[in-house]
Structure 1
Amino acid sequence: MHTDSSQTQPTPTPSPAQSHGAGAGAAELAATAPGGIRVIRRNGKVTNFEPGKINRAMTKAFLAVEGGSAAASSRVRETAAALTEQVVAAVTRNQSGGGTIHIEDVQDQVELALMRAGEHKVARAYVLYREERARERAAEKAANPDSATAAVIHVKRDDGALVPLDDTRIRRLVGEACEDQSGTKPDEILAAALRDLYDGIPEHELSQALTLAARARIEKEPNYTYVSARLLLDALRHEALKFLGMAETRPTAEEMKALYPAYFREYIHKAAELELVDSKLCLFDLDRLGKALLGDRDGNFDYLGMQTLYDRYFIHSNKTRIELPQAFFMRVAMGLAMNEIDREARAIEFYELLSSFDFMSSTPTLFNSGTLRPQLSSCYLTQVPDDLDGIFGAIKDNALLSKFAGGLGNDWTPVRGMGGYIKGTNGKSNGVVPFLKVANDTAVAVNQGGKRKGAVCGYLETWHRDIEEFLELRKNTGDDRRRTHDMNTANWVPDLFLKRVMQNAQWTLFSPEETPDLHDLVGSAFETRYEWYEKEADEGRIGNYRRIPATQLWRKMLSMLFETGHPWITFKDPCNLRSPQQHVGVVHSSNLCTEITLNTKANQEIAVCNLGSVNLPAHITPDGKLDKAKLEKTINTAMRMLDNVIEYNYYSVATARNSNLRHRPVGLGVMGFNDALYKLRVPYESDDAVRFADYSMEAISYYTIKASSDLAFERGRYSSYEGSLWSQGVLPIDSVGILAEARGNEYLQQDVALSGAFDWDSLRQQVRTVGIRNSNCMAIAPTATIANITGVSQSIEPTYQNLYVKSNLSGEFTVVNEYLVNDLKALGLWDEVMVHDLKYFDGSVQPIDRIPDEIKQLYKCAFEIDAKVLVDAGSRRQKWIDQAQSLNLYMSQPSGKKLDELYKHAWLSGLKTTYYLRTMGATHAEKTTITDNRLNKVGSGAEGGVSARPAVAAPSPEPGLSAATDVGGAKVCSILDPECEACQ
């Protein structure tokens, strides 16, 4: 054997003929080499990365092991070329902008590629020869210790100067990063990073080498995620301070604590000068605010949270980030305190809450607070009227609202259906679908300030003439001009339809210009009028209608939901009958994520909601109880912050501003529910978890309503208060009775018990006499990105998997369930084998025999939990909430019968809305080896993970229900897609 190149393992020596054939395809592969990438050899020398060398070496290895017949040579060249492409993709996936890779990393990937391909003989020869060469190098070094002098490494600073590597500083940096993180080893990080250094390495690559060395260890020791974040922050400090002319000292984390006040003053003034923040921020007492910054809290981020903040939230100038974490939180707090009397005191109060992670404002608030265009609201709900001016005016409103990071829910029900009469032209309408296509393309064209995709959801009532075509909007087949691949869709379902389904009765579809009042009617009034219209149709006075079995439409709804993830199923009557604001309008739709239920009226009111979420596990005491005193304090401050958004907010559409100032709705929610259960040692699939969902939401409801009423005492009640349910002393828990009376008790199975821990009677009296500041107070949003920032589980979601790779706009991140790891450590079960087992079983602990049953129950993954438990927990929460919740439903082995039972159960349980249906395919890709860094990935087109883009058909689960389609065995919605508009 001999050494063929600097980039692959030395390979078996082929014959001259074999060598001649091995070059085939090398030129093509060389042409695909990513620019700017170099390879570090063992002696520290840096050479260009050349894929052709990998190809030639692999070809020689194959021919040496298998022989050199003509037929074999042809197969070998094809195989080597294919495997080389895999290796190149693996070693360069994080190097799109150039960089360096170590020769050992290249060789590791070659070995893995061979093993994945089942080329075990070649792989074995490859491994044995690597081990042999490693022994030879070690023996040579031992025999000649004097010749093994370490090469001097110089670092190229940003100004081009070469300086010796400051070994003392990087050791201190890594030591600080590992401080208080058990299981982490600074020496291992340093050794791995130093291996990747070379003489003349740029400063930013040095920082990257340290971060990546820690990041590579996350799957084996979760605490490395915090180490990685701290090392990443060192690069961020240098970037920000350099821009402000303060980078001479290159401070470590400890040194930065003293520098934060001076940096903060410079940052605010420079950002205002560059028109990146509002110049009014300069009028704050910056010295006082700077002294209030808590530099220690920089160490609380995990790697995913820090990278997400850097990529998407921190203020930048020409892609140079000038905002550091504590300055970021203070900038947001200053914006929210802009109109306070003692604004410095309030800004510090808001900052301390945000930076503690006890509560987090929604993404638009974090993006835009303190900037020149403070569009802080999360959600906008609009109604589209039935005329061209109104339709295209609504689409224009979509564009303006989307531009500044608003998520949109459009009510399209008023638009006449296919075949509807057009008086102005004496023609017939093409229906609502062509206009939905225009709305879809507008969302694509006008993204959210260049920060995330435009986000819109179209709603249509189930009696609309075009409902059947609406159900098919997300299909990948059919006329693409009548498809909306980028827009979410949702069914706005009246109770009468579900009653007809259960009664196996007929259902009539109408065009809204012939039944104009149905849209605004709910409950018994809707049923009476709907039946009257049916008689009108039977007697020939309505022409554009269609009658079908209700169960036929219901099956199609479930079928499309299963096949495409859309339309979501949301319930009109509970949203309206339990609405505190039913005296002044109608809820015609929900929002982008199905948690907002506010009134809308075409050309008059665009509903607006401002969101934020309580970090539930941060309010669990060490002895496993809900810390009610802390929760009340958090909510009092959080509700003040949310209320402040309403005056401070930038409104791009006047009707949105008028509506928001009139009703002042906000949406306080929760995140980290499953983490809270871990702290309580309560399995998600248990009665205790359902009871905790009930009790925790009761506490949040009580303190939220009280906080809003206290604000009303200080600031005044909202202007449309009189006549509301609030003014009658009817709280959300009481409005369940209104729904029961309208629907009939046989169609409502919702527990309305109280815990007895809160004085609801006194609160009713306070709300009735003092009033309330906000027409709506609570809504549970998906919280995908802000949960990443705070490092907790999303919203009320069960854990997806205990070990996986999450893909989002910031890249790919290993996610490990820290609670599980800590439990396995305590049992002496956390080792290399366990890591591999978790990879093999897609993050599930259920098939691993040596894990105790108690642990298996506690750490069930989302698809291992009975979906009815999710509904039951959601039902218990819903009774306390004046709006709704983004409730995803998981089903591992779906069938028509199961889906039918699940969604009927959701309706009977009093839910207002449901969100995505996530289903798991019947099979998984077989895993031949798990010795690499691959994990089941959650994201777009993710291997062995989830995807919104169907690829492989699974068996049809039930006659009449479409077959599941999936990628790598799993198909769910796009909520975890890296480009998902709904959850970012």
Structure 2
Amino acid sequence: MGLADVTNARCRAGSRPACPSPTLAAGQSGTPSYLLIRRNGAVTPFDPGKITVALTKAFLAVEGSSAATSRRVHDIVADLTGQIVASLTRRADSGRTFHIEDVQDQVELALMRGEHHKVARAYVLYREQRARERSAARPLAITASTLRMKTADGTLVPLDEARLAAVIAEATSGLADVSPDTILAESRRNLYDGISADELALAPILAARTLIETEPNYARVSARLLLDKLRREALSFLAGHADQATHGQMAERYGDYFEAYLHRGIAAERIDPELGRFDLGRLKAALLPERDLQFDYLGLQTLYDRYFLHVRGTRFELPQAFFMRVAMGLALREVDREARAIEFYRLLSSFDFMASTPTLFNAGTLRPQLSSCFLTTVADDLDGIFKAIRDNALLAKYSGGLGNDWTPVRGLGAHIKGTNGESQGVVPFLKVANDTAIAVNQGGKRKGAVCAYLETWHIDIEEFLDLRKNTGDDRRRTHDMNTANWVPDLFLERVDADGPWSLFSPDETPELHDLYGPAFKAAYEAYEAKAARGEMKVSRQIRAVDLWRRMLTLLFETGHPWITFKDPCNLRSPQQHIGVVHSSNLCTEITLNTSADEVAVCNLGSVNLLAHVTADGLDHARLERTVTTAMRMLDNVIDINFYTIPEARRSNLKHRPVGLGIMGFQDALQALRIPYGSDAAVHFADTSMEAVSFHAISASCDLARERGRYPSFEGSLWSKGVLPIDSIELLAQARGGLGLDRSSTLDWESLRARVTAIGMRNSNCMAIAPTATISNICGVSQSIEPAYQNLFVKSNMSGDFTVVNASLVRDLKERGLWDEVMVSDLKYYDGSVGPIDRIPNDLKTLYATAFEIETAWLIEAAARRQKWIDQAQSLNLYISNPSGRRLDETYRLAWQRGLKTTYYLRARAATHVEKSTLKGTDGKLNAVSAVLAAPPIAVPESAHGKACAIDDPDCEACQ
């Protein structure tokens, strides 16, 4: 069945004349391209028409004979058939086979999702009746010993069931509460005579995945089974013929494989030939094959789908080779590069620290673009505008996330001297930038992504707010570009005072772009006086509160523009002696200077906080070791990096900024038995970030002693002994006070003296990025995020599978509460433990999900972290039952606490988990989403802006 047939099957009533009959279309397309495994092991062509017949019979059973001629039923059945077939074909394995039970599970799931509950019940009862009939009849099933496997050349050979059993037994070894017999039995259900090697490898993976929701350790089992598939794929590619190895066998072969992998990767132009000149014997001896076993399924599947090197889709990179390749790529210019490569490899493969996605993609390759974020300022002329758009394309090509400062571009109605005409403003150019981001998709690995920033005084600010709306002139909409407000303190002071706010075109007020704090206020008020005298060609005055309300309304309605604060970013910038921070980046954690001559670059990586806590608290010794090595790796990125434009290279070498962040924050809290919404969590956010900051600054100082200060060090806040904890006072002075705890616990005085005397290797050291993908690789919670749910379904290129909070399951087991009923309750309550009566209150508090935590706790924790960070943090805000008042209070609190930026607003809506009780399928839940429900303030349209979905690649551009 082709995709066109699926589409036809899903035609709505409005286009029925052009739609073929679902039954006819299904019958015509029931070709051998998709095969159905029947219960006796026989294989027949897959015929979607039989799905239509089964659905129709189910509706007839409930609604009577009139359903047969009902146009409504006909359309519902056609739509459901299309959904079911699309789901099956999307998840089809390389052999394009489905088991009959899988098809029936999808039928039941589609009926439940469509809320046809009576029909679904009738269908379930029918299935149970037929199962009893089959059991009574005791049909003879084909045995595994009679099955054959089809090799790559088409030869049929006996299926090696003994190896299948051995691989499953090895995958379950050492893991509690998992059953190899259960996986083997479920795997046999999907075997048939003539099965391909790929399908045979996939069968136990799919079997184990269905069990994850009942026991989290099956996620580890699934990963180990995927490893077996990957080993066969990689070894066969390198050998040129079918080859495979169990994990135990591979432990003996890993070194030889690694050497062959490097040579083949170099020959295929996937790996830098310089890596072949390392002392490979020394590196081979350092490989740790046992670390292949520490992945959860989501982490390894993520690497398999998007990170491992391949030739025409065939992966030939195993996990430890992947980590060693990245480590070698980062050690290329070290004196003893083998020793450093081993040091870097051990850190990466331990999951204590993980480099950012561009570094993982490209380290050790022919084009090592390793940097994560790029910030640009767009000039106010056609050459500058289109150069900026071209730069966006070049920077995005190799996985960079972009932040563009558009404030200098003159506004709508401004005079154009060259043509004696009027400007169309910034919006038409933003449309071009939007389409460029879509066109340059980073080699198919992930979408290009860019965020446009505009200051609140720009004359086009109101049109800018509307860019993400779903109504209006589509030529003045950017549906794929992120947008952010760059808000000066003066604006919020005017909001507080219910005062006026003046809008200008930057060609008439050029210095406003580069001013902040008291200097901005003085210049801005001077321009207001000038406008009052009628001396400004383009200006307008509005009520500040009205603009603020509109900003919050559009943020709520469309998810954009985000709210970021200009003054804290600049007043606390270590580099204010040499430039101005004009915007943040794609994910709002980078705050670096930009200009016409400099494109800011930042190089990211994140510490796994969970790996650095014990029952007694933070393990400072381990954290110091991790941060010291991580900072060296990040500093190396700057020199090794492949720069696509000269302005980026010039800036990066001059200032050498890096952004060390954290992930697994909520996991660390749960390990310490600290609820997210508590004073203890705020204190831990404070002290843990203090430790990261202390060790990061100390490591950069040590690198300065070894390698020299960064070139623009003199005159910086660092050179004056002003560390991030000290720069808070600069912001407090400008505002006349700042309500923020400024306590500390470490020896900052001695570190301050070292920095002043020795210097810093890096202008900036810390930034907390979203870590959307690398946290999945490490198996921890994203960044500083509270969890959406404790049980949800993740969707990726291989289908849907359950993710469950293993820590919660462990606690429930200890109290005798983990059973099938609990799984059902968690699904019914959307992964929340709050409404489940039999869960004790202490666990309800500890495992509260994002929308069950008061938003103020997120801001207070972020404010404590911001004390220690020289850049910013990607801070998502979660609000349950939002209102205009709550949004206003939330964002004002963020400003009052001195936060530099905020990221997505995520508001509670009708998210739900399937209430189905399907067996034998892992497609039980809807993927988590967070859509904005009802506007907090009167809005002109009913568009439903959305928060970032868990599997949204747009959120991965930083990490």
The answer to whether TM tops 0.5 is yes
Aligned partners of 1:567, 1:70: CA distance in 2, in Å?
49
| 1:30 matched to 2:22 | no
Is the CA contact 2:184–2:204 (under 8 Å) kept in the aligned structure 1? yes
Aligned partners of 1:118, 1:412: CA distance in 2, in Å?
47
- Look up the match of 2:930: 946
Is the CA contact 1:807–1:813 (under 8 Å) kept in the aligned structure 2? yes
| 1:642 matched to 2:617 | no
Deviation at 1:946, TM superposition (A): 3.0
| 1:616 matched to 2:609 | yes
Is the CA contact 1:785–1:983 (under 8 Å) kept in the aligned structure 2? no
Deviation at 1:107, TM superposition (A): 3.1
Is the CA contact 2:411–2:506 (under 8 Å) kept in the aligned structure 1? yes
- Look up the match of 2:442: 448
Question: How has the CA–CA distance of structure 1 residues 539 and 128 changed in structure 2, closer, same or farther, with 3 Å as cutoff?
Answer: closer
Letter in 2 for 1:330: M
- Look up the match of 1:675: 667
- Look up the match of 1:937: 926
- Any stretches of 5+ residues in structure 1 without a counterpart? 1-22, 940-944
Among 550, 557, 561, the residue aligned to 1:567: 561
TM-score (normalizing by structure 2): 0.94
- Look up the match of 1:665: 657
Aligned partners of 1:107, 1:677: CA distance in 2, in Å?
42
Deviation at 1:133, TM superposition (A): 4.2
- CA distances 1:153-191 after superposition (whole Å, capped 9, x unpaired): 111122333221212211111111111221111000000
- Look up the match of 1:794: 782
Question: How has the CA–CA distance of structure 1 residues 140 and 806 changed in structure 2, closer, same or farther, with 3 Å as cutoff?
Answer: closer
Aligned partners of 2:428, 2:124: CA distance in 1, in Å?
60
- Look up the match of 1:753: 743
Aligned partners of 2:593, 2:379: CA distance in 1, in Å?
15
| 1:719 matched to 2:711 | yes
Among 821, 824, 835, the residue aligned to 2:823: 835
- Look up the match of 2:878: 890
Is the CA contact 2:259–2:280 (under 8 Å) kept in the aligned structure 1? yes
Letter in 2 for 1:784: A
Is the CA contact 1:937–1:946 (under 8 Å) kept in the aligned structure 2? no
Aligned partners of 2:629, 2:133: CA distance in 1, in Å?
66
Deviation at 1:65, TM superposition (A): 6.7
- Look up the match of 1:323: 317
Among 936, 939, 944, the residue aligned to 1:957: 936
| 1:846 matched to 2:849 | no
| 1:49 matched to 2:37 | no
Aligned partners of 1:172, 1:685: CA distance in 2, in Å?
46
Is the CA contact 2:377–2:582 (under 8 Å) kept in the aligned structure 1? yes
Question: How has the CA–CA distance of structure 1 residues 442 and 88 changed in structure 2, closer, same or farther, with 3 Å as cutoff?
Answer: closer
Aligned partners of 1:67, 1:428: CA distance in 2, in Å?
68
- CA distances 1:533-584 after superposition (whole Å, capped 9, x unpaired): 1111111221211111111111111011001111111111111110111001
Question: How has the CA–CA distance of structure 1 residues 680 and 802 changed in structure 2, closer, same or farther, with 3 Å as cutoff?
Answer: same
Letter in 2 for 1:743: R
Question: How has the CA–CA distance of structure 1 residues 304 and 559 changed in structure 2, closer, same or farther, with 3 Å as cutoff?
Answer: same
- CA distances 1:663-716 after superposition (whole Å, capped 9, x unpaired): 110000000000000100000011100000000000000000000001111111
Is the CA contact 2:663–2:783 (under 8 Å) kept in the aligned structure 1? yes
Question: How has the CA–CA distance of structure 1 residues 393 and 776 changed in structure 2, closer, same or farther, with 3 Å as cutoff?
Answer: same
Aligned partners of 2:147, 2:950: CA distance in 1, in Å?
45
Is the CA contact 1:809–1:978 (under 8 Å) kept in the aligned structure 2? no
Is the CA contact 1:218–1:225 (under 8 Å) kept in the aligned structure 2? yes
Among 461, 464, 468, the residue aligned to 2:458: 464
Aligned partners of 2:165, 2:494: CA distance in 1, in Å?
71
Deviation at 1:248, TM superposition (A): 5.4
Aligned partners of 2:229, 2:792: CA distance in 1, in Å?
27
- Look up the match of 2:388: 394
- Look up the match of 1:521: 515
Count residues in correspondence. 938
Letter in 2 for 1:46: V
Aligned partners of 1:367, 1:767: CA distance in 2, in Å?
34
Deviation at 1:387, TM superposition (A): 1.1
Question: How has the CA–CA distance of structure 1 residues 124 and 310 changed in structure 2, closer, same or farther, with 3 Å as cutoff?
Answer: closer
Deviation at 1:43, TM superposition (A): 1.9
- Look up the match of 1:693: 685
Question: How has the CA–CA distance of structure 1 residues 883 and 929 changed in structure 2, closer, same or farther, with 3 Å as cutoff?
Answer: same
- Look up the match of 1:8: none
Letter in 2 for 1:439: A
Letter in 1 for 2:611: A
Deviation at 1:892, TM superposition (A): 1.3
- Look up the match of 1:972: 947
Question: How has the CA–CA distance of structure 1 residues 657 and 925 changed in structure 2, closer, same or farther, with 3 Å as cutoff?
Answer: closer
Alignment of 1:140-179 (within 5 A): 140-141=137-138, 152-179=146-173
- Look up the match of 1:16: none
- CA distances 1:328-352 after superposition (whole Å, capped 9, x unpaired): 0000000100000000000000000
- CA distances 1:482-506 after superposition (whole Å, capped 9, x unpaired): 1111111111111111111101111
Percent of residue pairs bearing the same amino acid type? 65
Deviation at 1:744, TM superposition (A): 1.0
| 1:710 matched to 2:702 | yes
Deviation at 1:973, TM superposition (A): 3.4
Identify which range, 720-729 or 157-166, moves more after superposition.
157-166
Deviation at 1:813, TM superposition (A): 3.5
Letter in 1 for 2:626: T
- Look up the match of 2:96: 99
- Look up the match of 2:7: none
SS in 2 for 1:517: helix
Question: How has the CA–CA distance of structure 1 residues 699 and 927 changed in structure 2, closer, same or farther, with 3 Å as cutoff?
Answer: closer
- CA distances 1:282-320 after superposition (whole Å, capped 9, x unpaired): 100111111111110001111111111111111111111
Identify which range, 776-785 or 171-180, moves more after superposition.
171-180
- CA distances 1:207-260 after superposition (whole Å, capped 9, x unpaired): 111110001111111111111111111111111111110765511011111111
- CA distances 1:90-109 after superposition (whole Å, capped 9, x unpaired): 44441176522222223334
Deviation at 1:131, TM superposition (A): 3.9
Aligned partners of 1:454, 1:119: CA distance in 2, in Å?
39
SS in 1 for 2:443: coil
Is the CA contact 2:42–2:192 (under 8 Å) kept in the aligned structure 1? yes
Structure number with the bigger relative contact order (C-alpha 8 A, sep ≥ 6) is 2
Is the CA contact 2:828–2:915 (under 8 Å) kept in the aligned structure 1? no
Is the CA contact 1:63–1:76 (under 8 Å) kept in the aligned structure 2? no
* RMSD between aligned residues: 2.3
Aligned partners of 2:42, 2:287: CA distance in 1, in Å?
44
Question: How has the CA–CA distance of structure 1 residues 60 and 472 changed in structure 2, closer, same or farther, with 3 Å as cutoff?
Answer: closer
Is the CA contact 1:409–1:459 (under 8 Å) kept in the aligned structure 2? yes
Deviation at 1:447, TM superposition (A): 1.7
Deviation at 1:835, TM superposition (A): 1.1
Question: How has the CA–CA distance of structure 1 residues 252 and 442 changed in structure 2, closer, same or farther, with 3 Å as cutoff?
Answer: same
Aligned partners of 2:325, 2:142: CA distance in 1, in Å?
52
Among 855, 863, 867, the residue aligned to 2:851: 863
| 1:651 matched to 2:634 | no
Alignment of 1:198-597 (within 5 A): 198-245=192-239, 250-597=244-591
Aligned partners of 2:91, 2:871: CA distance in 1, in Å?
42
Is the CA contact 1:807–1:937 (under 8 Å) kept in the aligned structure 2? no
Letter in 2 for 1:717: R
